[in-house]
Structure 1
Amino acid sequence: MENTNYSNVNKAKIILTSIITGIINILIVIAMPMLSADFVLGPWTNAIIIIVLLTVANTILWPIFTKILMRFFIITFGIGALLLNGLMFYGVAYYLPEVKIGIGGALIATLFINIATTLIFNIANIDFYNNYIIKKLSKKVKNKKRAANKHPGLIMLEIDGLAKEILDEAIEKGYMPTLKRWIENKTHTLKEWETDLSSQTGASQAGILHGNNKDIIAYRWVEKENNNKIIVSSNFSHAPLIEQKISDGNGLLSDKGASRANMFSGDSDNFIFTSSKIIELNKLYNKTWYSVFTTSNSFQRIFVLFLWDILKELKSQIVHKIKNIQPRMKRGIVYATLRAGGNVFLREVVTETLAGDILNGEINSAYATYVGYDEVAHHSGIRDNDVWSVLKEIDLEINRLENAESISKRPYEFVILSDHGQGNGATFKQRYGITLGNFVRRFLPEDMKSLRTDEESDHFRNSYIPKNESIENIREKMDNIKNHDIFEEYESLQNIKEKSIDFLKIDELYKSEQIQTLRKKYSDSLDYIRGYEASQHTTKKASDSELIVLGSGNLGLIYLTQWKHRLTYEEIISLFPDLIPGLVKHPGIGFILVNSLANGGMVIGKNGIYYLESDEIIGENPLANFGKNAPKHLKRHNTFKNMPDILVNSFYDPESGDICAFEELIGSHGGLGGTQTKPFILYPSDWDCPDELVGAKSIYDLLKNGMKKLKEE
């Protein structure tokens, strides 16, 4: 692949930068007695001796220590490397005349030395250090046996949460020159694709990496039959179980592929920081980790950048408060640390390990995720100044890998893509002063017990009843009564009244006092939705769950957990007549999805109903602003196991692009509406690509076909 940066590293500049770095490091050692009471230097010439001896020791001993202690470095997330660096400083200084030093002083000295080294390299040339690391890696592998496969490999890099619209802006503003060059040189083609419902990593990566995301309703869901257990897609215990269900052994990475920082493995045996595999402690060690600890400064540089990112986030928090940027959410030092972990630590580990993979040439493919944009956009906003710096850094990482490929003996093609986008806007709680969960409780009995959930996390799952016939089997006997309304055609249901559904017999349901009252007062379901005046109740705290409300971005899930099956529309209005009208009349809610015994999926808005089985619309179309494929996505979703009793989607404003999350995140995704369902893929221009890419499975197919094409070259 064409590359413009690696060959431009000037040797004289490297030498000069190294000399300046050495002088600065000597000055730091001279200043150490003033910075640490645990350090006495003696003659200033000892500083020169310490730096020279440390350089020699690192050159000779670091590769040996790395081979011996690699597993220790990994299980300590690199802290072991920092300790070793301090011990080596301590070792070379301890025996010098008049030097008195403790371990604390040695660690502080190495920290300041690494800060200075990273700063100087970045000032000299921000790409220099990256090229330096790649050059060192290439020397490490040049004498190794090359891979038998000579056909080009494929490196797939995901920028988590980046919508095509935001990528276009980043390129136009000059933050992503590498991708811009690829597009302008016509080596790659940029295309928008459309996610499934739900628009989040769990569903998208399952589809992209395994070609199957069936039954992944959102990031987390409830299993009613399993004691109301909440399943979380990225949970280290739950992700392996999900992968077992979606995998057929023919994942995207099943043929000598590598997984880096993903939720699922794509059936790869070569993985680092992959949620579905991370508990396999016996496979935690991977030889590719060596790339992260190539030199004594490699991980130390990552640590310095980690600290720097924390400071950048704290500065951003102050700026947001001073400028009163809205919408804004509460952030703090804990979030700053988590942000640095995703935006720096994972980013650097992904790039360093992939650079080693590319130079080794042993893998046929790799799929890796850069999570920084998604994390920062969640908390700062999808167009905040914070995200542009994150995207600029990711572009530099892509260029580093391009540099590695340019000197690798095996060629690799690159694909850059995102798994979903994000939408922006104040949260439901910020707008209306109440969480979705507490709002739902207003329409339920006062003594009904609900589960308190974390408003800042997403996701769920839920099963159909094991007893009796399932809803699908019942529907097979109901073809002749499709699209009849509960208020109009009670008699048409008599032929299936023997099929009970674990809560009420059909005849008991339709003869209930509540249903009879509603049928007398309202002519049809839309009349009921529009005309019913819902009562709001004050709720009480309770310990046991009879109600669970989860938020996944602007997608909400309501589970009425006293019943182990998914309640039908008919059952809900019989049990809780206030609930559905109360929900859809709220300005923060765009529509809800419920399943009707008579009609199948019903999408209900404030002024209209969309019957998914027949594509019949009564009143106003509640999906008018949510895209032409919204009915198809919802119809498919309605067949998933463990669906909530009521699926809720927030409003979407086409003019402002605003949505509102049911969790406390400014940038969010998970439902329908706007840029959250419009990610991108940047692929080699000589690939054959369909005119329209809808659903994560379409990306799986495109990438699989691309791999097949590369094997034929």
Structure 2
Amino acid sequence: MGRALVSLVIVSIALSVGVAVAGLTITQWWVLVSSVAVAALVLELATGSLLRGLAARGSVVTALVLGTTAQLAVLGTALALSTDLARLPFTTIVLVLVVAAAVLSAGRWVVGASDSAYIVAAAGRHGARTRVPARARSSYEGGPGGGRRPRGLLVVQLDGVSLPTLHRAIEGGQAPAIARWVGTTHVLRGWWATVPSTTPATMAGVLHGDADTVPAFRWWDRRAGRLLAASNPRDALLIESRFASGSELLSGGGTATSTTFTGGATQAYLTISNATRLRGLGSGSAFLGFFSRPLLLPGALVLTVGEVVKELYQARRQRVRGVRPRIPRRGTYVVLRGLTNVLVRKLNLSLIAEAMGLGRPVIFVDFVDYDEIAHHAGPERPESLRAVEGLDAVLGALQALARSCATDYELVVLSDHGQSLGSTFAQLNGQGFSERVHELMGLAPADEDAGDIGTGEDWAPMNALLASVLERWTTESPPVVLGPDQGRNLADRRPRGRGLEPHTDRPPEDLADLPEVVVTGGGNLGMVWFPRRADRPTLGEIDRTWPDLVPGLLATPGVGLVLAADEDGVPLVIGPTGARRLDGSATVVSGSDPVAGFPQRAAADLARLSAVRDAGDLVVISTVNGRGHVHAFEEQVGSHGGLGGPQNHAILLHPRDWALDASSTSTVPELGESPVLVGPVALHHQLRRWRDAWVGGEGVVP
């Protein structure tokens, strides 16, 4: 009741300011406030029946139109009843709505409140009124249900948050919800993110149990004869089609939100690989609540603009203070930060709350807020830690909903990787990684290479949203892809049916038509391919054709080691002063051990990476200094993808009574003395074990 009264006061003040700015005269304030409250209640009831039924017949655009129209109708009716004007101009109603939303957001900030609780409470009420599917009412995949309360598993991924960063946020009071969990209901530990420590590779492993398909964020694919990028919805669909079926984490009625791949989910929202299909965002009814709840969408838009202004201020503050290392923070990133850290976060929260209210058995969501900022500002810079603070508030709201909804949900929180600080390769050398490779080969830089462009990971949610909204594609109007992967190596765009299905892998007819070399960079992991070779060439073949390439790379500042195949096909790591075969013997071929100074799992991780079919013909890892700083081969001051620093120190927060499977753990010195899970596939098996025991079993997790 106390929170309700505070909310009523704030809403009244917000409406007062909005009315004053619009120049209206209210004759009876109690009529305005009460009519808004009554109309909102009517709208809430209508949302659960009439409007939701209409939205279910369309897409997210349908939900946006219906929800916005309903909000304007509610406010317009309330204003008409409380003023002398029987009819108000449309622009006046919009002005009152926007101003009131801005004041409401500021008022909630002043009293220390958040609309996260409002979002999940409203979604939970809808779920309580909605018939829960029979599969969700019993238990996972037909397990014994009886008359007990159904159980569910919610997995929340905090993209890019490393274990050291989370510890710092907890100690600094910026993660109070997680701090309350640790030591009481949950255990916080690390897990080792193997190379490539990227979101697509982790999601392939965690959601599908696949460790052999994704070698980097973008790579040259000899089967398709082109560059694949996981931020491209069409490429993501092709990649997912290569995963083996039968072990998906979310199969049997699960929900995926803001993920790269579906994980076998029945409902997939803002999922990149699902975006190319008809209504890839799912039914419009799932989005209606977000668009129709009074002042929620307008408030989110206002806060999005505020986030853009905040980014401009924080970027200037770094420049004025001379913070090093840093990169320019401008252009589309400024707007992108506002969208991902406000609008997409709130939309994700609304969708997950809806799924929890409906009793979906397993739910997986990825929040990209922190990762987006840390790439540009640095992993532990103030603005990055504030993003962790916002994510902590979301976790607190989800825990509150888990306690009150009909399904008994347990929460598991993880990250897909961490991030490491460091100046970029280009800052160190005055030229980009791709440019350096071409120079050593005696070739002119090629526009089609992706070694020196920014990350496409930040654009993945926007690409999924656009691809889902713009459903009808033709050969003349190919898929819209924003960010650095826009228009790059996207051959064979022919549509099939109402969406683009994965095309059959087919090698090019003439290898001579392919580029001489393709270079990519993902964090401090660089890869080089020679596409005109049908198979991966050996180090000797590379040296005979381009004798200056490998020696020149090793002599370049910031390059720590190069991985290639020797004449016997055995992976060989070469450093500036030595070489080592990765055949399990730990034998140093000559000189000093090239993996000395890297994490102790470096040799094992590189050997595993070399076995991935589409890994680079040459794999390059930057140097790592004593503070864990690396040099990204793309324009990122906080990066991940390779080895070194906190980028491999991912987090795992799980119920304290849920033990790790000893057969899936190993000791990693960088993460302490206790055994931890190594690699996303091990995490996949652990999550499936917990899922089966909690959701589909008797609720006792060994």
User: TM-score, structure 2 length as denominator?
Assistant: 0.81
- 1:511-540 Cα distance to aligned partner (Å, 9 max, x none): xxxxxxxxxxxxxxxxxxxxxxxxxxxxxx
Instruction: Report whether the alignment pairs 1:75 with 2:47.
Output: no
What is residue 165 of structure 1 aligned with on the other side?
A: 164
Cα offset for 1:628?
A: 2.2
Q: Which amino acid aligns with 2:252?
A: D
Please show how residues 254-273 of structure 1 align to structure 2 within 5 Å.
254-273=251-270
Cα offset for 1:100?
A: 7.0
Change (3 A) 1:642 1:144: closer
Instruction: Report whether the alignment pairs 1:113 with 2:84.
Output: no
What is residue 338 of structure 1 aligned with on the other side?
A: 336
Query: Which has the higher mean CA deviation after the structures are superposed, 453-462 or 64-73?
Result: 453-462
Tell me if the contact between 1:243 and 1:264 (Cα under 8 Å) persists in the aligned partners. Answer: yes
> What is the distance in 2 between the residues matched to 1:390 and 1:649?
29
Tell me if the contact between 2:376 and 2:637 (Cα under 8 Å) persists in the aligned partners. Answer: yes
Cα offset for 1:666?
A: 0.6
Aligned residue among 558, 575, 582 for 2:545: 575
Cα offset for 1:566?
A: 1.9
What is residue 538 of structure 1 aligned with on the other side?
A: none
Please show how residues 176-575 of structure 1 align to structure 2 within 5 Å.
176-185=175-184, 187-224=185-222, 226-227=224-225, 229-286=226-283, 287-293=285-291, 295-332=293-330, 334-360=332-358, 362-446=359-443, 451-453=448-450, 455-457=453-455, 545-575=515-545
Cα offset for 1:16?
A: 4.2
Aligned residue among 9, 28, 38 for 2:18: 28
What is residue 27 of structure 2 aligned with on the other side?
A: 45
> What is the distance in 2 between the residues matched to 1:386 and 1:76?
35
Q: Which amino acid aligns with 1:156?
A: V
Q: Which amino acid aligns with 1:565?
A: D
> What is the distance in 1 between the residues matched to 2:382 and 2:445?
45
Cα offset for 1:677?
A: 1.1
* Bigger Rg over Cα: 1
Instruction: Report whether the alignment pairs 1:139 with 2:125.
Output: yes
Aligned residue among 616, 620, 628 for 1:644: 616
Work out the percentage of aligned pairs sharing the same amino acid. 26
Change (3 A) 1:688 1:53: closer
Tell me if the contact between 2:624 and 2:644 (Cα under 8 Å) persists in the aligned partners. Answer: yes
Q: Which amino acid aligns with 1:176?
A: A
What is residue 633 of structure 2 aligned with on the other side?
A: 662
Cα offset for 1:560?
A: 2.5
> What is the distance in 2 between the residues matched to 1:545 and 1:76?
44
What is residue 478 of structure 2 aligned with on the other side?
A: none
Cα offset for 1:250?
A: 2.1
Q: Which amino acid aligns with 1:119?
A: A
What is residue 665 of structure 2 aligned with on the other side?
A: none
Aligned residue among 657, 661, 666 for 1:686: 657
Aligned residue among 587, 590, 613 for 2:560: 590
Tell me if the contact between 2:538 and 2:569 (Cα under 8 Å) persists in the aligned partners. Answer: no
Aligned residue among 654, 671, 677 for 2:648: 677
Q: Which amino acid aligns with 1:593?
A: L
Tell me if the contact between 2:402 and 2:409 (Cα under 8 Å) persists in the aligned partners. Answer: yes
Cα offset for 1:260?
A: 1.1
Tell me if the contact between 2:435 and 2:445 (Cα under 8 Å) persists in the aligned partners. Answer: no
What is residue 512 of structure 1 aligned with on the other side?
A: none
Q: Which amino acid aligns with 2:218?
A: R
Tell me if the contact between 2:153 and 2:361 (Cα under 8 Å) persists in the aligned partners. Answer: yes
Change (3 A) 1:78 1:391: farther
Cα offset for 1:452?
A: 4.4
What is residue 481 of structure 2 aligned with on the other side?
A: none
The number of residue pairs the alignment matches comes to: 612
Q: Which amino acid aligns with 1:155?
A: L
Tell me if the contact between 1:78 and 1:299 (Cα under 8 Å) persists in the aligned partners. Answer: no
Cα offset for 1:14?
A: 2.5
Q: Which amino acid aligns with 2:240?
A: E
Change (3 A) 1:73 1:58: farther
> What is the distance in 2 between the residues matched to 1:388 and 1:353?
25
Q: Which amino acid aligns with 1:707?
A: R
User: TM-score, structure 1 length as denominator?
Assistant: 0.80
Q: Which amino acid aligns with 2:116?
A: N
Q: Which amino acid aligns with 2:606?
A: L
What is residue 476 of structure 2 aligned with on the other side?
A: none
- 1:354-398 Cα distance to aligned partner (Å, 9 max, x none): 2222233x2111111111111110000001000111111101100
SS in 1 for 2:259: coil
Tell me if the contact between 1:450 and 1:545 (Cα under 8 Å) persists in the aligned partners. Answer: no
Change (3 A) 1:289 1:281: same
What is residue 624 of structure 1 aligned with on the other side?
A: 596
Change (3 A) 1:77 1:438: farther
> What is the distance in 2 between the residues matched to 1:558 and 1:88?
59
Q: Which amino acid aligns with 1:348?
A: K
Change (3 A) 1:117 1:73: farther
What is residue 605 of structure 2 aligned with on the other side?
A: 633
Q: Which amino acid aligns with 1:113?
A: A
Q: Which amino acid aligns with 1:122?
A: W
Cα offset for 1:145?
A: 4.1
Change (3 A) 1:633 1:103: same
Tell me if the contact between 1:63 and 1:295 (Cα under 8 Å) persists in the aligned partners. Answer: no
What is residue 41 of structure 2 aligned with on the other side?
A: 59
- 1:557-596 Cα distance to aligned partner (Å, 9 max, x none): 1122333332211111111111111111112100011112
> What is the distance in 1 between the residues matched to 2:209 and 2:10?
53
> What is the distance in 1 between the residues matched to 2:514 and 2:97?
53
> What is the distance in 2 between the residues matched to 1:294 and 1:89?
12
Cα offset for 1:192?
A: 1.2
Cα offset for 1:447?
A: 6.0
> What is the distance in 2 between the residues matched to 1:457 and 1:24?
40
Q: Which amino acid aligns with 2:398?
A: L
> What is the distance in 1 between the residues matched to 2:445 and 2:30?
74
**RMSD of the alignment, in Å?**
2.8
Cα offset for 1:696?
A: 0.7
